[in-house]
Chains A and B, each alone.
Chain A
Amino acid sequence: MSTTLPPADGYAVDRSALRHLADAQVAVELDTGDMILNLGPQHPATHGTLRIVVRLDGERVVTADPVIGYMHRGYEKLTEFRTYPQITTLVNRIDWLSSFANEVPFMDAAERLMSIEAPPRAKYIRTILTELSRIATFLLFLGEMGLQVGALTPAFYGFRDREYVLNLIEAATGGRFHPNFNRIGGIKDDLPWGWIAECRSTMKVVFDACDDFEDLVLGNEIFEARTRGIGIIPDHVGASYGVSGSNLRASGVDWDLRRDGPPYLVYPDLDFRVWTHPDGDSYSRYWVRLQETREAARMVLQCLDAIPSGPVMAKVPRIIKVPEGEIWVETENPLGQMGYYLISKGATGPFRVKIRSASFSNVSIVPWLLRGVYVPDVITILASLYFILGDIDR
């Protein structure tokens, strides 16, 4: 087997070598100077059951091939036999760290097919909860990327500060991780008494946490040495692979569906800034997500100031049947662009739902990105891309 680098337009994997890597264990095969390393499905560095088959030449990666599907739960098949409220529950679990954000595009699609619009108060509450789940998942990212790079402490800060946000979500929806709060036509319940004040004080905690992460991780010269210039995604390459969200914005592409896509929720009424960074390396991905966390907290405060009073549920028939039609709705989820293509044939459940998840496309750049990097940098790059396995495999 040759040790030359694969052609520049893609990657080439020697399939015969992969055939005897059947099991998920750390297997090493010396092969005329090339070593095949299995970053197996069980690994502390991959966020879930992702397997990356890496061929090494000494300390450098020659090829890397991600093997996904270990967590495939058959969402698109499940949705064929479920009603809309049931699907809302299931869809929470695609990206489980920012679970409210998964429901939003699906509900949007169903409501548009029904030509129903949720009342303004419901839209504001949906926006607040979406941004809260964005804060929750980014706080975790800020912590655990420090962990992947070697600092033990930021991970605990990430989990600790995330607890406050999760408690808020639980107070409103009843579930910390799986809110299941969206309904066609609005949301399930209104907010409990005292929630807005508590939300404001939690945003203060979030701002303090972001300052802490800036001091502890971002400003750390060792972190900079580990992440600057590592895993650079040029903007055109990222866009061609379908990378979206903070990963693309960290490469300098000024694209955010909340501002640039078709309007959804109350984002047209909010005043927010889209953060980009010109470098495109792992440092910039961390930096962009830190700024976006602060921006999300500011957006929550804006929504809390502007939230109108009123009902939270529009007039919907008792048995909801979405009329026939097809629609594609895409939103800016914390991990990237998530979209639902909904085909309805007029029943109580959809005929077909196609889920475009952000991490699936984000992971597709891994073979291109990992060529020629050192082995410790593989971990840094995977951590900075921030994919969730549930989002990749659905």
Chain B
Amino acid sequence: MPAKPSRPKMPGLIGGLGVTLKTMLRPAVTVQYPHEREAPTPRARGVIALKEENCTVCMLCARQCPDWCIYIEGHKEQRPPRREGGRPRSVSVLDRFDIDYALCMYCGICVEVCPFDALFWSPEYEYSEFQISNLLHDKVKLGEWMETVPEAEPLEVGAESKGKK
């Protein structure tokens, strides 16, 4: 026979009643959304924010996305040289950066592979829409999400790397 648990047990039927009574007398754990809200953890993958000035249109995020939900268009422009006598620099300018949240799997591969730290996670989750086409967030809206991106939080004792969002 298997080992019996070490605590003494009352007849099972009575013990079960005790559990429900005990739970009834304690406060309920319900958070009454939308009157109350729980704050998600800072790392929660709610929505992706875009810092446009960092983006160089390298297309790594769009390529690595498992769902191909990022749509990027850009063009090259010539900028004047930084110093006298230099040659004009060509700069990639971002025309269109859309993320289709109807397809997005919230995996975070795009945020991770971006070499220029242009994409950030934000724990904001209340952006559901009545029309599914409104779930395509363009670069303006993605820029607005930057305000909700939390600060890099400290890491646990024993970690070596610096905190990274």
Q: Judge whether A215 and B153 touch: CB under 8 Å.
A: no
Q: Given that A171-B43, A216-B19 are contacting pairs, would A190 and B155 also be in contact in the complex, using a CB cutoff of 8 Å?
A: yes
Give the residue among A86, A167, A171, A215 with the most B Cβ atoms within 10 A.
Answer: A215
Answer whether residue B164 sits at the interface, using C-beta atoms and an 8 A cutoff.
yes
* Total count of chain B residues near the partner, CB < 8 A: 41
B29 on the A face (CB < 8 A): yes
Known contacts: A171-B41, A195-B156. The answer to whether A189 contacts B164 by CB under 8 A is: yes
A160 shortest CB reach to chain B, Å? 6
With A and B bound together, what is the CA distance between A94 and B157 in angstroms?
33
Residues of B within 8 A of A85 (CB): 64, 109, 112-113
Most-contacted residue by chain A among B7, B12, B16, B160 (CB, 10 A) = B16
A contact residues, range: 35 or more
CA distance A184 to B94 in the complex (A): 32
Contact A215 B156 (CB under 8 A): no
Contact A178–B106 (Cβ < 8 Å): yes
Whether A89 sits at the interface, judged by CB under 8 Å, is yes
Please determine whether B44 and A191 come into contact, CB atoms closer than 8 angstroms. no
Neighbour of B12 across the interface among A82, A215, A277, A311, CB < 8 A: A215
Task: Encode contact with B along A143-182: 1 for CB under 8 Å, 0 otherwise.
Answer: 0000000000100010010010001001111110010100
Query: Which residue, A172, A220, A313, has most C-beta atoms of chain B within 10 A?
Result: A220
Task: Decide: A215 near B13, CB < 8 A? Known: A178-B107, A191-B159.
Answer: no
Chain A residues closer than 8 Å to B156, beta-carbon distance: 190-196
The CA of A220 and the CA of B5, in the complex, are separated in Å by: 15
Q: A86-B66, A170-B41, A309-B160 are in contact. Are A192 and B13 (CB under 8 A)?
A: no
Mark B104-115 against chain A: 1 for CB-CB distance below 8 A, else 0.
011111001100
Chain B residues with CB under 8 Å of chain A are 1-2, 5, 7, 9, 11-13, 15-16, 18-20, 23, 29, 40-45, 64, 66, 105-109, 112-113, 121, 153-161, 164
